[in-house]
Every structure is written in structure tokens, then in C-alpha cells.
């Protein structure tokens, strides 16, 4: 097949008049040369703003390069599929209408693809946020170098975005976006393509700029309230990927397990009880239970951006039991089914936020990050090797979860006398009757992360490795 262009860029468009020109210009201004090498396909998915005017303006400027399709609102997947029908290029990109590409991205991608054409069908690029925040996507850890990724070896190098990727057009003859999905449709398509060869290219030099909107909400920013996110994504996304992997490999690849678990983590922290009634919640958890049974405990625990509290929730849903109640203490850590869940020693559970000195007394104001049930643990303060129970520990910070509100941050205020020249202070956690010293993060303020070292009213306070030293100065 002789393709007319090197690249076809398909942009699904729905009421994005504020951002559309930036996206179009980022393609037109590519260093590879727009008129000779790029086809731009603009698919207006029922916009009611001035998006059509913008499309027609640029189509008139570049009639040989720009195609315009107008349809009733049917969703981004349908719009991308319509664009694929007229694409006439070797490589395809699905740019979102509020995002943009770096100036030389296509040049870099083309050279890499041509050098490795037989080995890969997909090339992925780095994602960097702009507008609302300026930082790289949290999956950016995989972009240490430009390389070909073998997903059987680097199963945590998941690629979810078609917008920041380029795909060979010939393999897309066999695939289309699932129009039943509003979420995870990109991850589903690109995963099916990648597992054809179990490899994909990764370029660290080319940048995809992802707009974190400040003026209006994007689809991802409003998904918790959309009931289709709770059902269709599982039925037509996760489940189908698992079945395809089982058919092709006889197992669910760790790469697919990791990818689905990465996507599930946002579900664990969603305020589900606010959006679903009790019956809907139970049905939803039943679906997650089925999916999580395909995901190894190891994969759940390896999630880099999932708090331990939510890992415990995931395991609880998977095994139909309260994992917290089943934890076993051994050598400074808590275990479930032989897997380390919660490291008590050295886990920096305690933060000292402030001190107040009154003559021969000091009030220690701190916080305690612990998801353990209140009735199962006690927190002690050690003063010169003497232990005293801290009775006044109160929840002060709440987070949402699939099970409701998590109250896992506690605060305490404990006043001790200064009776000796030197006083050593530590903290001890007792869980289910067993005690251990607790690792500490000695900070005067959670925001500035400054280590304790202060003098006040003739008192020196210094944070050491395993204790706080309070010393009188004469």
C-alpha cells in the first residue's frame, strides 16, 4: 500500500473553541513539514460552539492536507473511527483537541519508526501537563531513555494513551475504538495493538503536551459522577483485555494486570457512596471482585502511586474479607497471606508538626498516619525509656474511598515535663498486643519538610534517627 502522507493526525472535536487552534497549529508547524508529510483530519462531533468555524478556516488554508468531517454527537471513539476511514498515511496519531505536540516530535518519531519498523507497531512519547499544572505525567518514570520496551520484561511500563502515541496504519485495519466506551477506550485499543508483538517504542525526546484545564472540566475530571464509568469500563474494557490475553497467551499477562490495576486505583479513591446507591455499590464491587481475582497480589502491592490504605481495600474486595482484621505482625511489619502490607518500623508514621514550650513543660503536637482500626492499636510516647499511653488521638484528615470516608490521619497533643538535663523521646505502636518502635519523620511543618533543630527559651530540640533529644542549655 502506498500511503500519500507519512502521518495522519485525527482530532475528535467537541466544543473546544478555546483550545482547538493551538492543537491545529502544533501539527501545522511541525519541523518535518506539514504540506508534504501530514494529513490532518478534523472530526466535528456535534459541537455547538465556534469549533466548526475554526476547522473550516484551516481547511480553506490547506485544502490538500486537511479533511473535515461533521457528525452528530456520538462520542470521541466514533469520531476517531470516522477519521480512520479516510486516513491515508503510514502512521496514525489521535491528538486530543485541547492538547498539542512539540515542534520536532514528528521528525523524531518518524526516524525512530523507520529504524525499527519490523520490531514495533507503536511509538509512545512523553506527556507533560500545562496550563493547570506544569509537570510530567506520573508514568514518566519509564522514559529514562529512548528504547524498545519488551512488555514481558518491563510489565510496569504501561502505555494507556493513543493521543501521545503513533500507530502503524496497516495494523489499525484490524482494530477500532470501542464505541461503547467513554473511558479506557484508548487504553483498550493500544493494548490490543501492543500485545501483537509484545513490544513498543518509547521516545523520551518528543513531547506531548496534555492540557490540565483550569476554565472548564475535561472528561477525566468529571468521570466519578458518570455511571458508565462504573460499569461499561469493566465489562467492555478490563474484561475483554483479560479474555484476549487468556486466548493468546493462556494467562493474563502481568503487563495487562498492571495496566488494569493502575486504572483501578482511581476507582478505589472515588467517593462511590455519593454517586451510587447501596444496590449499585454492591453490584459494582462484585464486578471489581471478579477483575481483581485475575490480578496478582504482587501487582497490587507494586502500584507506585497507590496508598497502602487503598491497596488494603483492593485486597479486601478481591478476597471478600476485611484484610485489616487478618494482618499478622512479624519483624516490624504487618503481613497478609505472606505479603508485606504495612511496614511499621521505619515507615515514618509519626510527624512532629510543632512544639510549645512553657517553663518546665513542652507540648508536642504531631500527626499519626495509620489506617489500622482504632480498637486494634495503641500509641505510646517513650520518655527516657518510660512508656506512656497517648490517649487523645483524633482523626483530622479524611479521604474518599469506595467504602466511604477514610479517617487515616490522626493528630495528638502530648505535654511532658522537662525534669532532666536531657530527655529522649520516641514513639511506640502496639498492634494486637505486640509493641514495636515506630519510625518517625521529624518535621516542624509538613509543608516545608524541615528537620527538627531548634532552640527556644533555653531549650534545644533536635531530631535524631530514632528519637527526639530535648536538652536544657544553661
Tell me the backbone φ, ψ of residue 40, rounded to 5 degrees. -115, 120
pLDDT in tens, 292-342: 999 999 999 999 999 888 999 999 999 999 888 888 878 778 889 999 887
Host H or E run for residue 126:
strand 122-131
Residue 183 CB partners (closer than 8 Å, separation 6+): 219, 220, 223, 226, 228, 229, 232, 233, 237
Q: Which three cell numbers stand for residue 93?
A: 496519531
Mean pLDDT of 268-297: 93
Q: How far apart are CA 121 and CA 148, in angstroms?
A: 11
Q: Which three cell numbers stand for residue 217?
A: 472540566
Q: How far apart are CA 221 and CA 120, in angstroms?
A: 33
Q: How far apart are CA 57 and CA 290, in angstroms?
A: 50
Mean pLDDT of 22-44: 98
Burial of 460 (0-12, 13-18, 19+ CB in 10 A): middle
What band does 366 get if pLDDT is binned at 50, 70 and 90?
confident
Q: Determine the pLDDT at residue 244.
A: 97
Cell 493526525, located at residue = 9
Domain 350-472 belongs to what topology? Immunoglobulin-like (2.60.40)
Q: How far apart are CA 77 and CA 267, in angstroms?
A: 22
pLDDT exceeds cutoff 90 at 361 = no
pLDDT in tens, 143-193: 999 999 999 999 999 999 999 999 999 999 999 999 999 999 999 999 999
What band does 209 get if pLDDT is binned at 50, 70 and 90?
very high
Average the pLDDT over each of 218-227, 249-258, 330-339 and give the range with the smallest value.
218-227
Q: How far apart are CA 252 and CA 294, in angstroms?
A: 7
Vertex 168: Cα angle to 165 and 171 (nearest 5):
120
Q: How far apart are CA 137 and CA 132, in angstroms?
A: 13
Vertex 292: Cα angle to 286 and 297 (nearest 5):
145
pLDDT in tens, 395-413: 766 778 888 777 667 888 8
The pTM score is 0.87
Q: What is the CATH number of domain 5-213?
A: 3.90.550.10
Instruction: Check residues 236 and 354 and name the one with the higher pLDDT.
Output: 236
pLDDT exceeds cutoff 50 at 40 = yes
Host H or E run for residue 16:
none
Amino acid at each position: 500500500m502506498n500511503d500519500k502522507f507519512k502521518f495522519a493526525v485525527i482530532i475528535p472535536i467537541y466544543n473546544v473553541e478555546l483550545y482547538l487552534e493551538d492543537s491545529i497549529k502544533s501539527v501545522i508547524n511541525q519541523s518535518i513539514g506539514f504540506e508534504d508529510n501530514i494529513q490532518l483530519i478534523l472530526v466535528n462531533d456535534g459541537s455547538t460552539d465556534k469549533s466548526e468555524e475554526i476547522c473550516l478556516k484551516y481547511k480553506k488554508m490547506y485544502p490538500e492536507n486537511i479533511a473535515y468531517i461533521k457528525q452528530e454527537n456520538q462520542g470521541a471513539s466514533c469520531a476517531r473511527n470516522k477519521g480512520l476511514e479516510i486516513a491515508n498515511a503510514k502512521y496514525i496519531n489521535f491528538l486530543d483537541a485541547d492538547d498539542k505536540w512539540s515542534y520536532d516530535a514528528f521528525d523524531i518519531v518518524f526516524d525512530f519508526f523507520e529504524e525499527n519498523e519490523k520490531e514495533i507497531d507503536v511509538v509512545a512519547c512523553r506527556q507533560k501537563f500545562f496550563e493547570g499544572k506544569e509537570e510530567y505525567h506520573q508514568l514518566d518514570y519509564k522514559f529514562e531513555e529512548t528504547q524498545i520496551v519488551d512488555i514481558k520484561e518491563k510489565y510496569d511500563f504501561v502505555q494507556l494513551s493513543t493521543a501521545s502515541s503513533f500507530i502503524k496504519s496497516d495494523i489499525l485495519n484490524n482494530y477500532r475504538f470501542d464505541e461503547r466506551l467513554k473511558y479506557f477506550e484508548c487504553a483498550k485499543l493500544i493494548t490490543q495493538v501492543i500485545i501483537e508483538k509484545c513490544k513498543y517504542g518509547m521516545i523520551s525526546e518528543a513531547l506531548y503536551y496534555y492540557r490540565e484545564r483550569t476554565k472548564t472540566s475535561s472528561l477525566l475530571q468529571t468521570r466519578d459522577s458518570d455511571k458508565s464509568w462504573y460499569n461499561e469500563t469493566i465489562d467492555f474494557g478490563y474484561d475483554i483485555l483479560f479474555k484476549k490475553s487468556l486466548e493468546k497467551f493462556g494467562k493474563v499477562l502481568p503487563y495487562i494486570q498492571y495496566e488494569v490495576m493502575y486504572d483501578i486505583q482511581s476507582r478505589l479513591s472515588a467517593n462511590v457512596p455519593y454517586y451510587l446507591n447501596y444496590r449499585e455499590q454492591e453490584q459494582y464491587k462484585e464486578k471489581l471482585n471478579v477483575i481483581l481475582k485475575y490480578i496478582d497480589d504482587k501487582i497490587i502491592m507494586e502500584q507506585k502511586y497507590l496508598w497502602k490504605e487503598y491497596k488494603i481495600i483492593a485486597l479486601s474486595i478481591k478476597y471478600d474479607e476485611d484484610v485489616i482484621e487478618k494482618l499478622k505482625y512479624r519483624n516490624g511489619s504487618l503481613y497478609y497471606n505472606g505479603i508485606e502490607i504495612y511496614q511499621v518500623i521505619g515507615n515514618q508514621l509519626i510527624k512532629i508538626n510543632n512544639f510549645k514550650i512553657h517553663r518546665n513543660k513542652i507540648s508536642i503536637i504531631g500527626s499519626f498516619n495509620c489506617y489500622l482500626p482504632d480498637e486494634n492499636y495503641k500509641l505510646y510516647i517513650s520518655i527516657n525509656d518510660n512508656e506512656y499511653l497517648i490517649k487523645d488521638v483524633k482523626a483530622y484528615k479524611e479521604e474518599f474511598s469506595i467504602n466511604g470516608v477514610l479517617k487515616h490521619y490522626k493528630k495528638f497533643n502530648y505535654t511532658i515535663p522537662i525534669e532532666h538535663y536531657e530527655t529522649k523521646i520516641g514513639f511506640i505502636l502496639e498492634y494486637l498486643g505486640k509493641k514495636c518502635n515506630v519510625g518517625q519523620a521529624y518535621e516542624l511543618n509538613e509543608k516545608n519538610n524541615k528537620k527538627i533543630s531548634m532552640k527556644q527559651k533555653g531549650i534545644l530540640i533536635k531530631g535524631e534517627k530514632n528519637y527526639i533529644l530535648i536538652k536544657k542549655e544553661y
